[in-house]
Amino acid sequence: MSSIKTVIYPVKDLAQAKALLGKLAGVEPVMDEAYYVQFNVEGLEIGLDPNGHRKGMTGPVSYWHVDDVQQSLQELLDVGAEMQQAVSDVGEGRQIASVKDADGNVIGLVPARRDV
């Protein structure tokens, strides 16, 4: 079974976005790097990606946690989705991918965490 547990926002000013989201969420980031900042808010992972615009992100992307990213990607392509981002490693062997649906909405895929 799949579920949405991650939303990533493309940002131009990471420091400003981090301050805003931290104030809104009332929590400190659980990951705070120059390439990505993540907050965990009541079970939802909210990420800030300063490289998102360069990767084609035009707004927030919801990431579905799936058992197998490659298989899920292929299944979505088979039913008419368009490749947005091929499977890529984002560190520690964690892979992500994304597609666009017929309306241009971006759908992200990330492996389900077994420890959550």
Mapped to the 3 state alphabet, what secondary structure does the chain carry?
Answer: CCEEEEEEEECCCHHHHHHHHHHHHCCCCCEEECCEEEEEECCEEEEEECCCCCCCCCCCEEEEEECCHHHHHHHHHHCCCEEEEEEEECCCCCEEEEEECCCCCEEEEEECCCCC
34 pLDDT higher than 90: yes
| pTM of structure | 0.83
Q: How confident is the model at residue 116 (pLDDT cuts 50, 70, 90)?
A: very low
pLDDT at 84: 92
CATH class of the domain whose range is 3-111:
alpha beta
pLDDT at 1: 64
Of 5-9, 11-15, 30-34, 87-91, the least confident: 87-91
Task: Quote the mean pLDDT of the chain.
Answer: 92
Q: What is the domain partition of the chain in residue ranges?
A: 3-111
Q: Each residue of 58-115: pLDDT tens digit?
A: 899 999 999 999 999 999 999 999 999 999 998 888 899 999 998 888 999 999 876 5
